[in-house]
Amino acid sequence: MNKIEQVAVVGGTHGNEFSGIYLLKKWQKSPELLARESLNIETVFANPKAFEENKRYIDCDLNRQFTVDSLANNELANYEQSRAKAINAQLGPKGDAKSDFIIDLHNTTSNMGPTLILLKSDNFNKKMGAYVLQKMPEAVVVFEDQVSMEEHYFLASIASQGVIVEIGPQPQSVIRQDVLDWMETMTQTILDFVELYNNDALTELPARYDAYTYVESLKLPEDETGNRIGMVHKNVQDNDFKPLTKGDPIFKLFDGGEITYQGDYEAYPHFINEAAYYDNNLAMSLGKKITVELTE
């Protein structure tokens, strides 16, 4: 892999996830805080109109508009679909992008702590996960490598290397200092990693580490007409990345009943009760725990 030269740090892809937006303001005022010798770093405020209106999005979720097909489809022309094409023109085009590496900054209402989401599992990303966990033992690494970068619909997939920094718990439209501090530390740690990578100066990475890989999403309980009839069980609430085994309660019905986990694998829930996922009636993502081995 070539060296990383052009880096984009993106905030405000969702207008009510405030940490990235306020960090961008800070870094735009003091670019020396982000600067690294080997890197040319630009900052991008992805969805300013949604921020103005204090909403996740105006017309549709911006962070679902970046497949190669969607970007090429000029009939997709609402606000976020247009922003996606504008951002792709600025940082891309996807498949042959000006940006070598994108860091996209997000918040979640889920108790995920500082989570690094990696979109493919190549050596660069595996090493990044190792480095981030070494510097931030409280962090979690999730591989969302179930599809190729071309098929990924995330903004960070415009470049051939891209990551999502996902920090919670933070209510929508709030700034928490602990969450902001985690996001700042993780972003700086990632940039340190890229700088060391460019200089062939990465040393003493652990040979292996635990991480998670996305498997499936669970829906909130619905009746036959699509009405929501239950909620995330209090045993699961806030227990992101704590294992679920068959028979564990996962949903509490409003009428008092319970629904238990019936999967045949030890599942690691995350994005538990994320506010934004109610649009699609999603309750949580399930992952598997994996061991990542570094090879060289």
Q: Would you tell me which residues interact with a copy of itself (CB under 8 A)?
A: 22, 25-26, 54, 109, 169, 171-178, 180-181, 231-234, 237, 252, 254-255, 273, 275, 278
Cα–Cα distance list, 41 to 36, 76, 279 (Å): 8, 30, 34
Structure tokens at 126: 């595996």
> Which has the closest alpha carbon to 105: 175, 1, 58, 35?
175
How far apart are CB 152 and a copy of itself at their closest, in Å? 26
Query: Look-up: residue for tokens 């891309």?
Result: 92
> Which has the closest alpha carbon to 141: 275, 289, 242?
289
Name the DSSP letter for residue 23.
H
How far apart are CB 243 and a copy of itself at their closest, in Å? 20
How far apart are CB 44 and a copy of itself at their closest, in Å? 19
How far apart are CB 208 and a copy of itself at their closest, in Å? 33
Q: Measured from the CB atom, is 176 or 242 closer to a copy of itself?
A: 176
Strands (E), the chain: 6-11, 40-45, 101-107, 113-118, 140-143, 161-168, 208-219, 230-232, 249-253, 258-260, 268-270, 282-293
How far apart are CB 78 and a copy of itself at their closest, in Å? 17
How far apart are CB 140 and a copy of itself at their closest, in Å? 20
Q: Measured from the CB atom, is 95 or 254 closer to a copy of itself?
A: 254
Structure tokens at 56: 């996740």
Cα–Cα distance list, 229 to 250, 255, 259, 269, 281 (Å): 13, 8, 11, 21, 11
Q: Measured from the CB atom, is 64 or 176 closer to a copy of itself?
A: 176
| Residues in contact with 139: Cβ distance below 8 Å, sequence separation at least 6, in sequence order | 113, 114, 115, 116, 132, 133, 186
How far apart are CB 231 and a copy of itself at their closest, in Å? 4
Strands across the sheet with 268-270, in order?
A: 40-45, 6-11, 101-107, 161-168, 113-118, 140-143, 208-219, 282-293, 268-270
Q: Measured from the CB atom, is 181 or 210 closer to a copy of itself?
A: 181
How far apart are CB 12 and a copy of itself at their closest, in Å? 15
Beta 161-168 vs 101-107: how paired, if at all?
parallel
Q: Measured from the CB atom, is 223 or 266 closer to a copy of itself?
A: 223
Q: Measured from the CB atom, is 149 or 179 closer to a copy of itself?
A: 179
Q: Measured from the CB atom, is 161 or 273 closer to a copy of itself?
A: 273
Specify the amino acid at residue 274.
E
Q: Measured from the CB atom, is 171 or 243 closer to a copy of itself?
A: 171
